[in-house]
Homo-oligomer: A and B are copies of this chain.
């Protein structure tokens, strides 16, 4: 997992959560890691499609949608 439990807890606290269940933290963490990897894989595909070896901002913008 790239994004830690601590990071997830901090985000929830800052968003105004007084308390959170352990299962909620794990679910959120899994979602964020899945989403991040999905965007990254799409960005890599788009850069290859454009015949580049460097991921640039346009690959990320396209992959976030």
Contacts and interface: CB of A to CB of B under 8 A. Distances in A.
Contact of A17 (B23, B31, B47, B57): B47
Contacts of A47: 17
Interface size class on chain A is: 35 or more
Interface string A39-63: 1110110010000011111011100
Contacts of A57: 21, 23-24, 27
Nearest to A52: B19
B56 A18 contact: no
Contacts of A19: 53-55
A24 to B, nearest CB: 5
A40 B14 contact: yes
